[in-house]
Amino acid sequence: MAPPLLKLEGIRLTFGGTPLLDGASLMVGPGERLALVGRNGSGKSTLLKIAAGLVDPQDGEMFRQPTATVRYLAQSPDWQGFPTVRAYVEGGLGPADDINRVALVIDRLGLTGEEDPATLSGGEARRAALARVLAPEPDLLLLDEPTNHLDLATIEWLEDELQRTSSALVTISHDRRFLEKVSRATVWLDRGVTRRLDRGFAYFEDWRDTVLEEEEREQHKLGRQIAREEHWLRYGVTARRKRNVRRLGELHTLRERHRTHVRAEGLATMTASDAAESGKLVIEAKGLQKAYGDTAVVRDFSIRVQRGDRIGLVGPNGAGKTTLVNLLTGMLAPDAGTLRHGANLEIAMLDQKRALDPQETLAHFLTDGRGDSVVVNGQERHVVSYMKDFLFKPEQARTPIRELSGGEKARLVLARLLSRPANLLVLDEPTNDLDMETLDLLQELVEGFPGTVLLVSHDRDFLDRTVTSTLAPAGDGRWIEYAGGYSDMMAQRRGEELERRKLRAAAEAPRTKPASAEAPKPVSKKLSYKQKFALETLPQKIEQLGAEIGGLEAKLSDPALYARDAKAFERFTRELDEKRGARDRFEEEWLELEMLREEIEGA
């Protein structure tokens, strides 16, 4: 077995009070793909910084392979001293790295390299930071929330890139589908300690629930054992003094175990404050237009939004999702077209920028500085009680916002938003920085919200679970509404693309016939033997290639393969590309023959 690239053992770190890390461990071998998961504030980012050598623990053993190259993707990159994105990316290369990869990776991530880092948007900054860590092709990649602020096309490209690379990987992310695709093992950081599951994230949540259920059973058994020992001490038959002293000592030990056991953190409680019911018609837009200069962002857009609709908006960064939302809510005036809102409309909006005053306290932010109470659903509640619903501790009421983690800030903004009466929720990237459990509750809130929801998100799993229809850009400012979530939209688009290919093939077929001065021969009304044979056998060939592709993908998913046999890794990668190309050609040929068969039978 190859020696590990990284090994952390018994890591301890505290900032006062309860230890953040209390014996945590992390081991990464060559080519391994780990998902690091846990609640917001559990110490995931801190553990990753320790792995990267950016934070020193107070105790524990650390080993990093001296010859291994490690790259860490920080949530907040440092641009100081870099005039362009290209200079920033090149600054992450080592002496042996290929500088030609810089231009390749920058281009794949949709950047030119000449951008000024100081003027980058959130999505562009994240892509530049990714380029810096991906260009060197390091032995170990440490990624902290790599999908934040990325659009769906870039997320899917990143998934393919991480599946292709031979680098070992440890990633923190809230994006379930991303973790399912890139992970082969899962490390769960919970109450300062780590547990490892040697399977990908897709299996994590069932395993976690089983672990917590077993823990609750053990605590229940311990409580009953303490009760039996206490009963024996009070009413048992007197035995030898030494035996009594021993059992009394054991009882003290049991009590201490029970008293000091730290239970798993509870779930947040999310309930939106209800406003008066809106009219059945919430929004009616006809022929909306919006352009910036010569660029049309919204062109001839019409929609009727009914009470209870939950509409998702997807598309690349810069496609105009936020602009369209602002047009629909009346926050932005259109260049042309009409907009009508229904009766009693009360809007609560979550802005993706989430501007916060770092000096303001949590209690002041939630109450707008008006005393110690908030009004939720018409009932006055003390701010500390309301904070507990969102997993904040009472002592945090006077804590400045600057002390909060990214996930805690996201929860705080949601707490304030949901205390406002509303029948139209507008959520712009609400899933950023939220942990899985809070995402589940937000999902339930959106699904059960009695009013209407407009949701901008790049989280495919969240969209699939919540929205009733999806708006996506079709180019040149046009937007198309699809029934269902993201996966439903993609299935409908594939069907549309298949129809377009059929139409193109049918239109091009007459042009491909050889010109002849002679009278045209009559078109055959039946397939040739060769065509029939191909039509019958191609599905089997496609299926066989699919099985071979699956076998190669399984071999390449072995995290130790590259370290054990680099030549085999390269050979399997080459074979995988060849077989995928062959399958695509066979599928194209079968489609053309199937269309020809339908044409002949319909004649």
Residue 262's pLDDT is what?
Answer: 57
Burial class (CB in 10 A: 0-12, 13-18, 19+), 359: exposed
Residue 241's pLDDT is what?
Answer: 45
- Interatomic CA distance for residues 44 and 161, integer angstroms: 24
Name the CA dihedral angle for 411, 412, 413, 414, rounded to a multiple of 10 degrees: 50
Helix (H, G, I), strand (E, B) or coil at 317: coil
Residue 431's pLDDT is what?
Answer: 82
Helix (H) or strand (E) holding 284: strand 281-292
Residue 341 pairs with which residues in a beta bridge?
A: 283
Exposure b/e, 412-434, CB count within 10 A at least 16 = b: bbbbbbbbbebbbbbbbbbbbbb
Mean pLDDT on 291-313 = 92
Examine the pLDDT at 307 and tell me if it is beyond 80. Answer: yes
Tens-digit pLDDT profile for residues 589-602: 877 777 777 777 66
Residue 517's pLDDT is what?
Answer: 46
Residue 218's pLDDT is what?
Answer: 76
Helix (H, G, I), strand (E, B) or coil at 127: helix
Helix (H) or strand (E) holding 106: helix 100-108
Q: How far from chain centre, in Å, is Cα 152?
A: 10
Q: Are 31 and 564 in contact (CB under 8 A)?
A: no
DSSP state of 114: -
What architecture (CATH level 2) is domain 522-602?
Orthogonal Bundle (1.10)
**Residue of 403 and 230 predicted with greater confidence:** 403
Exposure b/e, 193-229, CB count within 10 A at least 16 = b: bbeebeebbeebeeebeeeeeeeeeeeeeeeeebeeb
The half-sphere exposure of 587 on its side-chain side, counting CA atoms within 13 A, is 13
- Interatomic CA distance for residues 186 and 348, integer angstroms: 37
Domain 6-204 fold is Rossmann fold (3.40.50)
Query: Among 162, 170, 26, 108, which residue's Cα sits nearest to residue 556?
Result: 162
Residue 569's pLDDT is what?
Answer: 74
Residue 556's pLDDT is what?
Answer: 73
Residue 438's pLDDT is what?
Answer: 77
Residue 325's pLDDT is what?
Answer: 93
**Residue of 366 and 569 predicted with greater confidence:** 366
Tens-digit pLDDT profile for residues 104-147: 999 989 899 999 988 888 788 889 999 999 999 999 999 999 99
Spatial CB neighbours of 547, under 8 Å, sequence gap ≥ 6? none
**Other CB atoms within 10 Å distance of the CB of residue 136:** 23
Examine the pLDDT at 56 and tell me if it is beyond 90. Answer: yes
User: What is the DSSP track for 47-88?
Assistant: HHHHHHTSS--SEEEEEE-TT--EEEE-SS---TT-SSHHHH
Examine the pLDDT at 242 and tell me if it is beyond 50. Answer: no
Residue 337's pLDDT is what?
Answer: 94
Main-chain phi, psi angles of 525, to 5 degrees:
-95, 10
Looking up tokens 């501007």 gives 355
Tens-digit pLDDT profile for residues 250-283: 656 656 665 655 555 555 565 665 555 667 889 9
Q: 148-162, 222-236, 493-507, 559-573: which has the minimum mean pLDDT?
A: 222-236
**Other CB atoms within 10 Å distance of the CB of residue 408:** 20
Examine the pLDDT at 510 and tell me if it is beyond 80. Answer: no
- Interatomic CA distance for residues 377 and 421, integer angstroms: 7
Q: Are 90 and 45 in contact (CB under 8 A)?
A: no
For strand 281-292 and strand 336-341, is the pairing parallel, antiparallel, or unpaired? antiparallel
Please report, rounded to a whole number, the percentage of residues in the chain having pLDDT higher than 70: 84
Return mean pLDDT, the chain: 83
- Interatomic CA distance for residues 527 and 186, integer angstroms: 54
Q: Are 380 and 371 in contact (CB under 8 A)?
A: no
Tens-digit pLDDT profile for residues 316-345: 887 899 899 999 999 999 999 999 998 888
Of 2.60.40.10, 3.30.70.20, 3.40.50.1100, 3.40.50.300, the CATH number of 281-488 is 3.40.50.300
- Interatomic CA distance for residues 338 and 53, integer angstroms: 57
Examine the pLDDT at 240 and tell me if it is beyond 90. Answer: no
Exposure b/e, 148-170, CB count within 10 A at least 16 = b: bbbbbebbebbbebbeebbbbbb
Q: Are 433 and 407 in contact (CB under 8 A)?
A: yes
Residue 469 pairs with which residues in a beta bridge?
A: 311, 483
pLDDT band at 491 (very low <50, low <70, confident <90, very high): confident
Mean pLDDT on 467-484 = 92
Residue 18's pLDDT is what?
Answer: 76
Tens-digit pLDDT profile for residues 417-451: 888 888 899 998 888 777 777 788 788 888 888 88
Q: Are 477 and 297 in contact (CB under 8 A)?
A: yes
For the chain, percent helix, then strand, then coil, each to nearest 5?
A: 45, 20, 35
Residue 564's pLDDT is what?
Answer: 74
Q: Are 168 and 559 in contact (CB under 8 A)?
A: yes
DSSP state of 264: P
Query: Among 129, 30, 138, 143, which residue's Cα sits nearest to residue 94?
Result: 138
**Residue of 598 and 62 predicted with greater confidence:** 62
- Interatomic CA distance for residues 13 and 24, integer angstroms: 9
Examine the pLDDT at 572 and tell me if it is beyond 90. Answer: no
Query: Among 66, 43, 65, which residue's Cα sits nearest to residue 55?
Result: 43
**Other CB atoms within 10 Å distance of the CB of residue 246:** 11
User: What is the DSSP track for 478-534?
Assistant: EEEEEESSHHHHHHHHHHHHHHHHHHHHHHHTGGGSPP-SSPPPPPPSS--HHHHHH
Spatial CB neighbours of 198, under 8 Å, sequence gap ≥ 6? 185
Tens-digit pLDDT profile for residues 194-216: 999 999 999 998 898 888 888 77
Examine the pLDDT at 405 and tell me if it is beyond 80. Answer: no
